[in-house]
Chain A
Amino acid sequence: MTDVLTPPAPEAAPKPPRSPWRDVWDQFRSHRGALAGLVIFTLFLLAAAVGPYIWRVDPTFITIRARNLGPSWTYPLGTDQLGRDMLARMIAGGRISIAVGLTAMALSLVLGTLVGMLAGFFRRLDGPLMRLTDLFLSLPLLPLLLVMVMLFRESLSQRFGPETGIFILIVFAIGITSWMQTARIVRGDVLALKEREFVLAARSIGTPPGRIITRHLLPNVMSPIMVSATLGIANAIITESALSFLGLGFPPDFPTWGRLLFDAVDYIRDYPSRVIWPGVAISLVVLSANYIGDGLRDALDPRIRGR
């Protein structure tokens, strides 16, 4: 065995403890897929954030004479059936879709992790919280969403304005109906982890439960959380599309990727490119998010690091 019994020579000055995030980044960089995903995702984010200031075309401006045009220098992605510029609509739609996807994912992740962690760690909360999870799982989601939209659309629109109001409503609706899987996974992992000896060791040190959770349990359940996070983005974008399609999401003239997709479905035979663009955008964002999640999960696990 390689136990080193002699104290180190004084001239071998040990390096100060490194921040663990440096190691995470070093490992993340070595994952090609994750790096590619990060680049693509950043490009989409940039396009959505800065795009409207570069491509200054109003996505809702109707030029009835320029209907159903193919790609040209004036309209790089062509126009739709009302002569609206597709590129401008894609950029505006990406803004909403990515924002909805990220926020709804974050909300459902926080909710799911919180519920799962509390249920797994505190035995007394386990029963009530998991029955609540079962209750949410057994609710039919679409009708629930419809009811929520019907009930709260008006009041939220009045308070925050039509766009922000709907945004809050949709993010909330998606977040509140998609945290259950995360909660179950986290609870299962926490139940196994809290019996491990290092948690016992932390208790023998006198670490209070709150810090046991943040210091010992949370980092160790990071992998499943990452996986459900990346799947959550995709799920949220697609749910938002479905809601928009049913006319319950954003207003009809307000472009989102889901909306664009469903608007274009009627014209799929004549103008397939109009379906392809939003479809490709959704797929690329989802795929890059998945790769980022994959890379992060590996990078956060010190046992995989450096292989």
Chain B
Amino acid sequence: MAEAGRGDRPLVEVRGLTMHFPIYKGLFRRRVGEVRAVDGVSFDIRQGETLGLVGESGCGKSTCGRAILRLYDITAGSICIDGVEIGRASQATLRPMRPRMQMVFQDPQASLNPRMTLAAIIGEPLMEHTRMTAAERTARVYELMDAVGLNRTFANRYPHEFSGGQRQRIGIARALALNPRFVVCDEPIAALDVSIQAQVVNLLEELQDRFGLTYLFISHDLSMVRHIATRVAVMYLGRIVEIAGREQLYASPLHPYTQALLSAVPEPDPDYEAARRRIILTGDVPSPARPPPGCRFSTRCPKVMDICRRVAPELAEAAPGQFVACHLYPATTPEPTAGRTGGTEARPRAPAGQFQQGEPQ
């Protein structure tokens, strides 16, 4: 299979990804349960596309992103990046894989070591994975700083001397240092001012065009995801409830949770804004340590049925290219596996210009 469709195969294939964190309690620190942060998530990301991963706080988006890069030892599931299975690989065998997959972190303040200069921070991946001399490394660091729009004279400064947007640029430069193919952006704009958010997102898009990057863009900002993503996955309490192409998802959300989520996005046009009907969910998100039986959303769903409280719905194709995990939409065609999640139907939506594979310079 790997040889058959190298060009056709998605860059990232995630199957049944599960990440449980054990809870220890009591005098003897006995294991009393686990937080099901991510519970059986499957999706594909094709070369050059951006998958937006949205959901409210605590639904497991960030954990999902980190687990895909194997920053955690996953509980179950398989992760295949560029045809290599890394779900069970040890950290030592993963090390040579690391240059291909990188991460941009949420908090640009916390993700930079306060005791390192900018040159040292951006140069760290180069130091770890290449045999460059100091001069070559400096040249590459300058190159990267140019690419993300940082002044070269900043190389000797420390992270605390920069603004939030600049710090995020440093984080992006570090992630790009080794020419990765796949970048997980873990809410890269959540900690920034709105004016800076646009700059950073535009920078990410520009870099995607230039270097042929593939993004997993984690965010809770729906309008930003609409702007950058080619496909969008909606998560709720550790599961994906809906995954579809961007236009399709925003035009006709099928899952009640997605509908509620999208109804909360403010509308810039006052006429539409007046007509906007917000679906207000009642209650709180259940604890991921004790998720409800059946559908995870059944406790808050406005359209809840009897079956929802008993049987957990599987992700199934409800409309072409649109997969929903909800009993409201009986699967039109029986789905043999969850493996078809990121269907080929979504493909035409990826901007053609982003497929080019190119090394920087």
Contacts and interface: CB of A to CB of B under 8 A. Distances in A.
B165 A1 contact: yes
B115 A219 contact: yes
Most buried by B among A7, A198, A303: A198
Contact of B124 (A8, A207, A300, A303): A207
A200 B71 contact: yes
B75 interface: no
Interface string A272-304: 000000000000000000000000000011110
B62 to A, nearest CB: 10
A17 B111 contact: no
B161 to A, nearest CB: 8
B98 interface: yes
SS class, residues of chain A in contact with chain B: loop
Contacts of A15: 153, 155-156
B128 A2 contact: no
Interface string B109-141: 011111111011000110011000000001000
Contacts, number: 116
Contact of B113 (A18, A198, A305): A198
A3 B102 contact: no
Given A17-B155, A206-B129, A303-B160, A197 B69 contact: no
Interface residues of A, number: 38
B142 interface: yes
B279 interface: no
A303 B158 CA distance: 8
A305 B95 CA distance: 35
A211 B106 CA distance: 23
A125 B153 CA distance: 43
B166 interface: yes
Given A197-B106, A206-B129, A17 B138 contact: yes
Interface in B137-176: 138, 142, 146, 149-153, 155-156, 158, 160, 163-166, 169, 171, 174
Contacts of A72: none
Contacts of A150: none
Interface in B228-277: none
Contacts of B119: 17
A5 B163 contact: no
Contacts of B112: 198, 201
A151 interface: no
B93 to A, nearest CB: 11
A198 B111 contact: yes
Contacts of A18: 117, 156
B111 A206 contact: no
A206 B195 contact: no
A4 interface: yes
Contacts of B115: 219-220, 222, 300-302
B110 A196 contact: yes
B199 interface: yes
B69 A303 contact: no
Given A2-B163, A216-B113, A303-B158, A205 B151 contact: no
B138 A200 contact: no
Contacts of A219: 113, 115-116
Nearest to A300: B115
A177 B281 CA distance: 61
A7 B146 contact: yes
Contacts of B190: none
B169 A3 contact: yes
Interface string A161-196: 000000000000000000000000000000000001
Given A4-B149, A300-B115, 13 more contacts: A6-B149, A16-B138, A17-B120, A196-B110, A200-B105, A204-B98, A204-B102, A204-B103, A206-B98, A220-B113, A220-B114, A302-B115, A305-B158
24 contacts: A4-B149, A5-B149, A7-B149, A8-B153, A14-B142, A14-B155, A15-B156, A16-B138, A17-B117, A20-B120, A197-B105, A197-B107, A200-B71, A200-B105, A201-B112, A204-B69, A205-B124, A206-B125, A215-B116, A215-B124, A216-B113, A301-B115, A302-B115, A303-B114
